[in-house]
Copies of this chain bind each other. A is one copy, B any other.
Amino acid sequence: MLDHLEDINKAFESKARLGIMSVLTVNDEADFNTLKDWLNLTDGNLASHTRALENIGYIVAEKKFEGRKPKTSYSATTQGKKAFQAHLQALESFIKSNL
């Protein structure tokens, strides 16, 4: 019943982080405002989650300029993608033993 619970990665516990990783698994990169709109998050909320995921090396941020406007783009690292897949698999196993 509690098997697989220990494989659930605390870094991905929140809905916001699941969403960020999901977007960055399917898309090579996404900028701050796109993530914000798609995930329906506030600036502060998204920034705190992207910072946390950057700090553990699961995503990287790149500052670019679009004309004179700065733009931050995020992409998932190989390590981040692997960790996210492992997390989804652990969740899946947990769910199977609970549904």
Contacts and interface: CB of A to CB of B under 8 A. Distances in A.
SS of A interface (majority): helix
A86 to B, nearest CB: 11
B15 A2 contact: no
A39 interface: yes
A95 B89 CA distance: 8
Interface string A81-93: 0000100110110
16 contacts: A1-B26, A2-B19, A2-B38, A5-B22, A5-B39, A8-B15, A18-B94, A22-B98, A25-B98, A85-B99, A88-B98, A89-B99, A91-B91, A91-B95, A92-B92, A92-B99
